Amino acid sequence: MDDLDLLIDLHREAARQGPGGDEETRLSIALSGLRGAQGLRIADIGCGTGASTLVLARELDATVTAVDFVLAFLDRLAEAAQRAGLDDRIETLAASMDALPFEDRSLDAIWSEGAIYNMGFEAGVRAWRRFLEPGGILAVSDLTWLTGDRPAELERHWTREYPGVATASTKMAILEANGYSPIGYFPLPERCWLANYYRPMQERFAGFLSRNGHSRAARAVVEAEQAEIALYERFSAFYGYGYYVARRTPG
């Protein structure tokens, strides 16, 4: 198995592939003002196995197109949608987020939890704007500095790993500079990282290693995840995921 296959193997049985929470998805929906609207067309980009997709389909009168480039995740989502009786509202689409096949102005909203970093925050919000109707909603979560200052060691780490990391005020300014009007921001609570994402992942490590014969590559995947968890446990006061909700400006 190559490294991507190993990551898929570690994450495909999980309810979510990044920090997040159903309650926080519902909060973003509340900020969007879309409750009560009918026949919405929504894309959930980098949906993974679809934790947010399922909430969107349940809470809104919408057809949700769940987009990811990993087929194994989309298959799991399709099964979950069927089990939840939401399969008439959810369609899966295997595509890359930097080459989406949507028509211009064809969507009422775009959601994307913990995935826009793959393009970079600014590149993503810029590229996706044209798919939204004027007045359409963009709701994304992305790595965010929670304080004006932080330890140099941490700053070096995340600037190297994800140059798009920035404070909420910087990300709001990026939204404004790229044709969006910010509606709201909130940081994900620690529970979204620890209880919802890292602890369940740690419980899967033993099965993952045994399925993969404790290979050197599998052990390296676990070690990298453990290092990420230790970093978060040490520095969670300084970084987290910010959830941003904004409206596409006219024009």
Q: What is the DSSP letter of 35?
A: T
Shortest distance, CB of residue 134 to ligand SAM, whole angstroms?
25
Residues 6+ apart with CB under 8 A from 65: 41, 42, 43, 44, 91, 92, 93
Closer residue to ligand SAM (CB): 118 or 249: 118
Residues in region 16-55 near ligand SAM by CB under 6 A: 16-18, 20, 46-48, 51-52
Closer residue to ligand SAM (CB): 31 or 116: 116
Closer residue to ligand SAM (CB): 46 or 136: 46
Closer residue to ligand SAM (CB): 96 or 106: 96
Shortest distance, CB of residue 9 to ligand SAM, whole angstroms?
13
What are the tokens at 135?
Answer: 């007045």
Q: Is 149 exposed, middle or buried (0-12, 13-18, 19+ CB in 10 A)?
A: exposed
Shortest distance, CB of residue 51 to ligand SAM, whole angstroms?
5
Shortest distance, CB of residue 251 to ligand SAM, whole angstroms?
28
Shortest distance, CB of residue 26 to ligand SAM, whole angstroms?
14
Residues 6+ apart with CB under 8 A from 156: none
Which one of 66, 97, 109, 192 is in contact with ligand SAM (CB under 6 A)?
A: 97
The DSSP string of 83-149 is HTT-TTTEEEEE--TTS--PPTT-EEEEEEES-GGGT-HHHHHHHHGGGEEEEEEEEEEEEEE-SS-
As a whole number of angstroms, the distance between CA 242 and CA 114 comes to 9
Beta bridge partners of 239: 145
- CA angle at residue 56 from 54 to 58, to 5 degrees? 65
Residues in region 107-126 near ligand SAM by CB under 6 A: 113-115, 118
Length of the chain equals 251
Q: Per-residue x/- mask for ligand SAM, residues 67 to 96, rule CB under 6 A?
A: -xxx--x----------------------x
Shortest distance, CB of residue 147 to ligand SAM, whole angstroms?
23
As a whole number of angstroms, the distance between CA 103 and CA 142 comes to 25
Closer residue to ligand SAM (CB): 95 or 249: 95
Shortest distance, CB of residue 58 to ligand SAM, whole angstroms?
16
Residue with tokens 């909430």: 55
Q: Which residues bind ligand SAM (CB under 6 A)?
A: 16-18, 20, 46-48, 51-52, 68-70, 73, 96-98, 113-115, 118
